[in-house]
Chains A and B, each alone.
Chain A
Amino acid sequence: MEDRVKSILKEIQPEFDFAVHVNFIEEGMLDSFDMINLVTSLDEEFEISIDGMDILPENFSSVEAIVKLVQKTK
């Protein structure tokens, strides 16, 4: 699942290395527009529907946080 998440992130922001362990939001690698795109892509890729209350920066701040969000939603 981690690799699929990284692949989606790379599609959204090809310039950044999402393998690094930093906060993607604080480091400016993802903004609010990217977050919404990410929700749509994760919904499609994992056939889920991320809860509206979970669309918060902290749930998109790292690959681990995104994987956790997908697992929670499944």
Chain B
Amino acid sequence: MKIVKSFEEIMLGIKSVRDFKEKYYTNFFPNKDQIELWIEKASLYKIDKFNGVVFFIRKNESFNSLYFVAKSEESLSNGISLAANFLEETCTVIDLIGKATELSRLNDIFKNYKFVEYTSLTRMSRVINEDEDFKNDISIDFANTNDVQEIKILLDTYFDPLSEQIPFKEEILNWIKKNHIVVKREDDHIVGFVIFDLIGMTSYLRYWFVHPEYRDKKIGSALLNKYFFLSSGCKKQMFWVINDNENAIKRYKHYGFEMESLNDIILKKDRN
């Protein structure tokens, strides 16, 4: 297992598999900015010694995230069996993203190597109508740079690192600088927030949170309405929701979001 020191190494790894001119099985959708942050944190590793498959491993605090690029199901399966030694030290998590029908065979490959389904998510989205009119709720503030630590603690405390990809402080700071975090404050503390990305015509709702002691006070809807107001210039809003979170799905549907056919199955293999 080698540490990755440049984005080019990622591209070369993908190229080595693509050069077989076969199929393209992957759960790795590299975003250059994010990858460079992982590299800066010395948290990204590569295993490229097996035929027709390359693995990328992101080391998190308590578990590893496993990504693959493979030319065939067979090479993926062989690669997993050979890479098993590298995956024994700690818990390993893998996201399989795609349509349910496409994922079942990949799912079976990993289940053969002691991965079990941890949870699953579905992408929800809504297309914004031009005549929608959202109010600017002035009780909801933009987060400022002094809020980074408090937001980080709330994310670490209330979100699941295995399925919800807790961001680094640097990422939180970047969102704050872009005015992409809005917060509800009570007595100088943050009791709720929404974090989002806005890229041209698409907005991604990343995190929506209300502190348990402040729920049922319409803070969640105020935060979401503020998000709708701030992203009203885009055409599509989307996010991932955990499938067994029925209350959240019901609320999102109330706001006009629909389930897409895109799934994210999260598999987990505990340390030996």
Contact = CB atoms under 8 A, between A and B. Distances in A.
A35 B29 contact: yes
A56 B18 CA distance: 14
A10 to B, nearest CB: 14
B101 interface: no
Interface string B182-210: 00000000000000001111110000000
A28 B15 contact: no
Contacts of B31: 31-32
Interface residues of B, number: 29
A55 B199 contact: no
Contacts of B53: none
A39 interface: yes
A15 B235 contact: yes
Nearest to A32: B29
A43 B22 CA distance: 9
Interface in A32-74: 32-33, 35-36, 39-40, 43, 49-53, 55-57
A55 B11 contact: yes
A53 B15 contact: yes
A22 B13 CA distance: 31
Contacts, number: 65
B2 interface: no
B12 A53 contact: yes
Contact of B11 (A15, A28, A36, A53): A53
B16 A52 contact: yes
Nearest to A27: B200
A49 B18 contact: yes
Given A36-B29, A52-B11, A29 B201 contact: yes
Nearest to B199: A28
A28 to B, nearest CB: 3
Interface of B: 11-19, 21-24, 26, 29-32, 97, 127, 198-203, 234-236
Given A27-B201, A33-B97, A53-B14, 17 more contacts: A26-B199, A28-B200, A28-B236, A29-B200, A31-B29, A31-B202, A32-B29, A32-B30, A33-B29, A40-B24, A49-B21, A49-B22, A51-B18, A51-B19, A53-B11, A53-B15, A55-B18
